[in-house]
Each structure stands twice: as C-alpha cells, then as structure tokens.
Structure 1
Amino acid sequence: MNVAYVFSTQNSHYILSNMILPQLKQGGHGLTVVGMFFFVDNTFMLVKGNDIGERLTKISQETGILIMACDKWAFVRKINDDLVAAARLGCFPDLHAALKDVALSQVITL
C-alpha cells in the first residue's frame, strides 16, 4: 500500500524522528511511503543541518520518497534557500502532480 504523509501538527517532529524514520531505515514500516509534505513550523525539519532533514535526505536517495516543503511557509520563514538536498518546494498542485502516477492508497496527516 502506497501512502503519503502530511506533517502539520506540533507532534510531527516526535512521530517522524522516533517512529517513522527508524522504521523506514530498518525496512519495517509496513507500508510504502511515496511522499512527505511539510507545513507550518514543520518546514524547519528540512533545513540543512537538521538531523531529521539529513536523515530524510539519505532515505529519499535510497527509496525515491518525495520530500516537499510548503513553499508559502518556507518563504515566510525565510528558509526556502536553506533546505536539505532532497527537499522540494511546492504547494498542493505540485504535490498532486508529483504523486499522480504512484497509485496512492492513503494520505495520513500528522
């Protein structure tokens, strides 16, 4: 089953760092993650040097998972030019276009 995550709550950092990323690294997540979209302050997780962003870059390079930061929030926070290599900037139309051919089964918002 192909899933995408939307990170929009203050709990996203803990869930991603301590649950999802370790499972993805070990190959035990149970689902195929095809994309991750970061909103509001969660965009800071994708700044260069941030442990989560750097870990996501490695996993994305190995698996092809789409990593996207909401462009509006990245521009507002002035981090649009300081994101990890794997992160793209975009909005919902960009996310939809990037995931249209991956047989997405679920979108999970955390």
Structure 2
Amino acid sequence: MPFKDIATTTGLVEETARNQVNKLIDLGVIEVVERNRIPKGKGLQRKLPNLYRLNIKMAVERESDESKMFVTEQMNNLKSCMMFYFTNRELKKMLPRKQYESLVALAS
C-alpha cells in the first residue's frame, strides 16, 4: 500500500504515516520484505509500493487471554483472522460491499 493510501486510510498526513511506519520498523513490529520494487514488463515504469510483514509474536500472560488470540500457521490468512475477531454484522458495517461479500464467501 503506498504511503498516500496509508495516509488517506488512517487520516494522517503522508509524512506522519511515513514516520510512523519507520518507527514500527525500528521497534521490530513490521519488517521490510522488499523495497524499490520495479514492475515487470513494459509500460509505465514507476516503482511499486514496498512490501512489509507484521511481526506479531506475544506471550499470553493469562489463560483468559487465550480466547482472544488467533493462531494460524497459514501466512496469508487475514480472512480467517477477520472472521475470528469480528461478527458478520461488524464486518458488513466496516467494509465496502464487494470486500464484505468476498470475505464472507471465502470464509464459508
């Protein structure tokens, strides 16, 4: 996601979004997977957005917290994670229609 989109989504100024991402990198919360990506093929040769990976590993301090934690071995399982933490009603309210329908259809 380009910093412009991050800024729009979060309501921050682009420079602030960039600074916050850099702080998260310094803290080890996210890591840069790939920078300065160049699109393959011919045509418009502008750089693609950087790729980042979230590093979310935390100890469960209380047994009661285990019910709030989603654990998976699948790398790209955001859909299952969303379905774990939110009800269908909440997702329908938060997401655009097509994203919601796609999420619910794939989770079924």
TM-score interval, smaller chain: under 0.3
Q: TM-score, normalised by structure 2?
A: 0.26
Q: Could you say which structure has the higher strand fraction?
A: 1
Of structures 1 and 2, the one with the larger relative CO (CA 8 A, separation 6+) is 1
Larger radius of gyration: 2
